[in-house]
């Protein structure tokens, strides 16, 4: 089930990049980013109301964890710029490469208090396919 959900999220991200990029072409990068995040805010408020969930703020959470919101904003802004110049598939492919390398480093060294999962040589195969795909899309 988790594999299906992760694959579904990947499909939604591709659609989101298309929608966000097209909105950026029309309104500009910063205006579209503001609208995207306002719609996102209203969406999560709607979900909280429908599910009757309460927002809980806990003390003692490391301050750097709150930076995820800023990272989300920059991800949208930079993805929109990439989409305008590279298209959806290359933007997603390069993003996947960045995510893969970063997650391998986080796992291998246990960064940010994560469980250590040592790098195995078989991961070179996956990275090689990603790099080969990017090479084919950009050069050939």
Alpha helices (H) along 28-87 = 29-51, 68-86
Whole-angstrom Cα distance, residue 22 to residue 45? 25
- Which structural domain, as residue segments, surrounds residue 43? 2-139
Q: What's the pLDDT tens digit per position in 127-140?
A: 999 999 999 999 87
Return the pLDDT at 63: 85
Q: What's the pLDDT tens digit per position in 14-60?
A: 999 999 999 999 999 999 999 999 999 999 999 999 999 988 888 88
How wide is the angle at C-alpha 57 spanned by C-alphas 53 and 60, nearest 5°? 145
Mean pLDDT of the chain: 93
Whole-angstrom Cα distance, residue 67 to residue 44? 18
Q: Residue 88 has what DSSP assignment?
A: H
Return the pLDDT at 21: 95
Return the pLDDT at 64: 87
| Total tally of structural domains belonging to the chain | 1
pTM above the 0.75 mark? yes
């Amino acid at each position: 089930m988790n594999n299906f959900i992760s694959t579904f999220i990947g499909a939604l991200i591709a659609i989101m990049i298309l929608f966000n990029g097209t909105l950026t072409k029309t309104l500009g990068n910063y205006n579209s980013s503001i609208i995207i995040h306002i719609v996102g805010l209203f969406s999560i408020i709607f979900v909280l109301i429908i599910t009757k969930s309460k927002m809980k703020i806990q003390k003692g959470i490391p301050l750097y964890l709150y930076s995820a919101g800023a990272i989300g904003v920059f991800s949208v802004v930079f993805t929109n710029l990439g989409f305008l110049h590279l298209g959806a598939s290359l933007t997603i492919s390069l993003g996947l490469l960045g995510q893969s390398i970063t997650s391998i480093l986080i796992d291998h060294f246990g960064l940010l208090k994560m469980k250590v999962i040592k790098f195995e040589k078989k991961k070179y195969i996956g990275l090689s396919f990603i790099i080969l795909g990017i090479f084919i899309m950009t050069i050939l």
